[in-house]
Amino acid sequence: MVNRDLLKQRIVSHLDGHITLEDLAAWAEEVFRNEEFDPPHADEIAEVLASIRDAVDPHRFRWEEPDFEDILEKLEELK
């Protein structure tokens, strides 16, 4: 199950240079399709995962890195 802590952990791994944006987007795509989301925050988690997976769109040659600092702040505010 994907919760906000796991999501934040993956984003921080990218920001720290441990995983590329492409790998983060691939992970987001995989969990978006195959995992369940923490019920209290399922909508917010789905929205963040969608923005990450859409950051790398090879069909439209789109490579836009989301505002991860803003995303982390929003995830932190969820209680």
Structure tokens at 58: 């090879």
One digit per residue, the tens of pLDDT, for the chain of length 79 reads: 999 999 999 999 999 999 998 899 999 999 999 999 999 999 999 999 999 988 877 665 556 778 888 999 988 887 6
Distance CA 33, CA 68 (A): 21
Residues 26-61 as b or e (16 or more Cβ within 10 Å = b): ebbbebbeeeebbeebeebbeebbebbbebbeeeee
